[in-house]
Structure 1
């Protein structure tokens, strides 16, 4: 549902990594020209102009929701009523209240809901998570995510009208990575946000967060769309016994490297792309495959809606903190008292 740019990324993964686990049989978009172009390119026969038509058609078991956050309710609610499983693009709600509501509604309906936090499946992060899980790595004390890129938002697109911009569109991925790697529930957040000087956009283009986790670990997220040169995309973890880091120049393309130093000598790896976009397709496809396989095995996917409440809680707390001049906001407040972990 929604056949814009990100739908093509999902299709690349669906036709490669997840090809044996799911079949894309229908697509939906009110923009007929965009819908036809997408379906013609990918060989999809069933085409629908509205979410209601697709949901009630009986042609699918699950939907992948790629619409802007503002129209989540009008798709998720009827999908759950019809017993359809739902994979939602991030952020899966406009705020913490929506996230809690969607999660509880999906669980009450007995269907699987997951959130497309596909950045977890880039190869360097899969390696990092595995490496930190070994006994010689020690307990995690500090996690840092940093991305600096020049990403001006063109006027006219729906994103240009959003009051929640950079953090909701991009650094929600970084937030999810930090809390996934930290492996303990977040407790509170301090944040500041900024716009590019002279920008007419309503939403932020720079975000900086300080996250406190249960058990004492600390995480930081710094993400800028206003860095005109020298792009940077790094992730670092310090533990009781050493450190590990990964990096790539662009967030979604190119070769990546990983370094871990927990013994006498550092371990260094390179994760090379054999063709452009290979790692992005791997990440989207792995997210789709985990969703489909979890449904088939009747288990909870690792990127479930309930799991993603932690990510949504951090993001919501960060927006509230930034609006209050950087004062700390608890995850409990951001999620209206809801328990922020499974």
Structure 2
């Protein structure tokens, strides 16, 4: 057989992207990693930070050399010298925070998940379109060079017909972590499970059937869930996510001609391998690392899209984000997971999720 060579990544150097002035909404752990990454590997400017605590905002600003700090999300959204707001509040504030930015006419990049459910994601997409501004989910993995190569491999049909996708993500957390807080939409589904679900739905589209199982945690959140999915044409997918302990975070895409296995953790920078039945292998190598090594790619891609007058990115379209949350909604319906709203006073029922 003639083995094709791997295509080169088409992802440009992040330093080449036009600079935007970013406002950070929610100075937590992921905001720190994002800021470290873009300051080290791009020309993007972190111009302001805002939170519900001016003390926290000032501490973040001092740590990263950010010139402006605000004591409310509203002040940050209204700041006149900000091009785009990066929303990285707790999950159940994503929708509310994004609405503040959109109403102020700001572009938005919203940490994953873009909302608690597909209805919130659709609302964000509709509001952004009406306002004529950019909006996207910060599913940073899809902006990495290796995922651009994987996308080219799939588009070229190198694997043949994709029959199966398997993906999992498990991690250990200290009991004090917010993932165990029912009031903050805790459990693994939105924190970890969005990665395997996003990969599966990116490769295979929307499933026709979903069968999910869940395991409760003593804290009141979901501890573990697994799902088997069936897609048009007969393809299947299996995913698992939990908060019990660390796993390889492995992902495999099986085709009728060849199998592509992504090194774990599959959602971070790293390599992958394509194997054919006769033992032939092709290897893609990329320096492995954490978010600090890769978050700048999504920031640069967003800056390029906005400079080109686009309202979303091809790496993670709003339709793709909505599709992933549609599946997450169905998993929650079957498992019986309910998330509290941002105020903590209302619970989204499984019926409301589908509206």
* Aligned 8 A contact 1:64 1:86 in 2: yes
For 1:224 and 1:251, locate their aligned partners in 2 and report how far apart those are by CA, in whole Å. 16
* Aligned 8 A contact 1:2 1:27 in 2: yes
Residue of structure 1 in register with 2:71 after alignment: 49
1:292 paired to 2:306: no
* Aligned 8 A contact 1:100 1:335 in 2: no
Candidates 229, 235, 256, aligned match of 1:217: 235
Residue of structure 2 in register with 1:33 after alignment: 55
* Aligned 8 A contact 1:153 1:160 in 2: no
Candidates 161, 185, 193, aligned match of 2:214: 193
Stretches (4+) displaced over 6 A: none
Distance 1:131 1:227, change over 3 A: same
Distance 1:7 1:100, change over 3 A: same
| Shift of residue 226, structure 1, vs aligned partner | 0.9
Residue of structure 2 in register with 1:6 after alignment: 30
Distance 1:177 1:135, change over 3 A: closer
Cα deviation code 1:281-328 (max 9, x no counterpart): 24311111222211111123122333311111111111012129xxxx
- Give the secondary-structure state (helix, strand or coil) at the position aligned to 2:114: coil
Distance 1:211 1:153, change over 3 A: farther
For 1:158 and 1:215, locate their aligned partners in 2 and report how far apart those are by CA, in whole Å. 36
Within-5 A mapping of 1:251-290: 256-262=270-276, 264=278, 265-273=280-288, 278-290=289-301
Distance 1:232 1:105, change over 3 A: same
| Shift of residue 334, structure 1, vs aligned partner | 6.2
* Aligned 8 A contact 1:121 1:282 in 2: no
For 1:334 and 1:219, locate their aligned partners in 2 and report how far apart those are by CA, in whole Å. 23
For 2:28 and 2:185, locate their aligned partners in 1 and report how far apart those are by CA, in whole Å. 21
RMSD over aligned Cα atoms: 2.5
Candidates 175, 193, 200, aligned match of 1:171: 193
Distance 1:237 1:52, change over 3 A: same
Q: Which ranges of structure 1 fall in alignment gaps of 5 or more residues?
A: 325-332, 337-342
Within-5 A mapping of 1:128-143: 128-143=150-165
Distance 1:7 1:223, change over 3 A: same
Cα deviation code 1:65-99 (max 9, x no counterpart): 01113223432223222211111111121222212
* Aligned 8 A contact 1:125 1:246 in 2: no
- Give the secondary-structure state (helix, strand or coil) at the position aligned to 2:80: coil
Within-5 A mapping of 1:65-104: 65-104=87-126
Residue of structure 2 in register with 1:311 after alignment: 324
Residue of structure 2 in register with 1:239 after alignment: 255
Candidates 204, 207, 220, aligned match of 2:225: 207
- Give the secondary-structure state (helix, strand or coil) at the position aligned to 1:25: strand
Distance 1:192 1:150, change over 3 A: same
Residue of structure 1 in register with 2:22 after alignment: none
